[in-house]
Amino acid sequence: MKQSVKMIVGNWKMNGLTADLGEARALTESLSDAPASCRVALCPAATLVAQMAWALKGQGVEIGGQDCHAEPKGAFTGSISAAMLVDAGARLVILGHSERRQGLGETDSLVAAKFETAVAAGLEPIVCVGETLTQRETGQAVPLVTAQVLGSLPDAAASHAFAVAYEPVWAIGTGLTPTVAQIAEVHEAIRSALVQRLGPAGTRVPILYGGSVTPANAGEILQVAEVGGALVGGASLKAASFLAIVRAAEPARVAADAQG
Ligand code: 13P
């Protein structure tokens, strides 16, 4: 999987007002001078999805939501449906982020239900998995993440485009990152789980790494076997730092760095 086009996705989380669309525009201005040779996406808060999709239309940056409801529509005050995201211009949706699993009690089976609703509406899910520090320290990282992958994908996942993002909870927003060997171990376990769950289709699913990715560490992380891209939080909020991560993911750069 190492040779395939990388996918760099920014997750703005609960950040960003209309004024911050300037950062997204600055990103596309730089990319129009030198187009990215990897997939680039931004996932703003729901309030900005339509405006960002409109502002960036046709400029090579895909737009995603950060969550959607498991039901296609109905009396769910405050929630956003998959069809609403598509209507607003989104192509992708992050599902099962640890900030939702931990803070809002989202379970693997709820994530799998959201996956089915999202793909039915035409969205490409990015399914997040990852262990807590305690789970890592007690040797549970690989079994836990494997179980999350197996449980968070519906049976029909094999016939849909989607990505998995490995985001160790302890690495999110902390400046801490796993070692390259730890990332490789978990990504290989995720690949095995995907093949176990989906058969040959499991070999083609991009597996992103997320958690304190910065311009300084992106090159090294993106070299790791089975790392198909990055899901970037804080460093995606500013065009300059996100662009540097996008550039680190471009094939020529990845190949050159691999040769040392
Ligand atoms: P940070 O890059 O800010 O650590 O966030 C990672 C993340 O949670 C992306 O979904």
Indicate the pTM of the whole model.
0.96
Would you state the pLDDT for residue 250?
87
Joined tokens for residue 52 = 């960002």
Cα distance between residue 99 and residue 246, in whole Å: 24
Q: Which ligand 1 atom is the nearest neighbour of the CA of 99?
A: 8
The reply to whether ligand 1 has any atom less than 6 angstroms from the CB of 96 is no
Would you state the pLDDT for residue 2?
42
Q: Which ligand 1 atom is the nearest neighbour of the CA of 236?
A: 2
CB atoms near residue 20 (< 10 Å): 17
Would you state the pLDDT for residue 163?
98
The reply to whether ligand 1 has any atom less than 6 angstroms from the CB of 172 is yes
The reply to whether ligand 1 has any atom less than 6 angstroms from the CB of 210 is yes
The full DSSP string for 8-59 is EEEE-TT---GGGHHHHHHHHHHHHHS--SSEEEEE--HHHHHHHHHHTTTT
The reply to whether ligand 1 has any atom less than 6 angstroms from the CB of 86 is no
In the chain the domains, ranked by start, together with CATH numbers, are 44-55+62-68+78-233 (3.20.20.70)
Give which of 200, 103, 183, 113 is closest to 152, Cα–Cα: 113
Would you state the pLDDT for residue 1?
42
Judged by phi (left if over 0) then psi (alpha if -120 to 50, else beta), residue 114 lies in: alpha
Cα distance between residue 106 and residue 120, in whole Å: 20
- 13: Cβ contacts below 8 Å, ≥ 6 apart: 45, 66, 99, 233
Cα distance between residue 62 and residue 8, in whole Å: 10
Which residues carry out catalysis?
Answer: 97, 167
Q: Which ligand 1 atom is the nearest neighbour of the CA of 232?
A: 2
Q: How far is the CA of 214 from the centre of ligand 1 (A)?
A: 10
For residue 24, give the H/E element and its range: helix 21-33
Mutate to test the pocket of ligand 1, among 208, 212, 236, 242 (most ligand atoms within 8 A of CB): 212
What is the phi/psi pair of residue 237, to 5°? -75, -25
The reply to whether ligand 1 has any atom less than 6 angstroms from the CB of 67 is no
In single-letter form, the type of residue at position 2 comes to K
Q: What is the pLDDT along the chain (260 residues), one digit of tens a residue?
A: 445 899 999 999 999 999 999 999 999 999 998 889 999 999 999 999 999 999 999 999 999 999 999 999 999 999 999 999 999 999 999 999 999 999 999 999 999 999 999 999 999 999 999 999 999 999 999 999 999 999 999 999 999 999 999 999 999 999 999 999 999 999 999 999 999 999 999 999 999 999 999 999 999 999 999 999 999 999 999 999 999 999 999 876 666 666 65
Cα distance between residue 248 and residue 64, in whole Å: 21
Would you state the pLDDT for residue 219?
97
Q: How far is the CA of 112 from the centre of ligand 1 (A)?
A: 22
For ligand 1, atom 5, the nearest C-alpha belongs to 233
Strand partners, 61: 40
The reply to whether ligand 1 has any atom less than 6 angstroms from the CB of 234 is yes
**CA distances (Å), 28 to each of 40, 87, 242, in order?**
10, 22, 11
Would you state the pLDDT for residue 254?
67
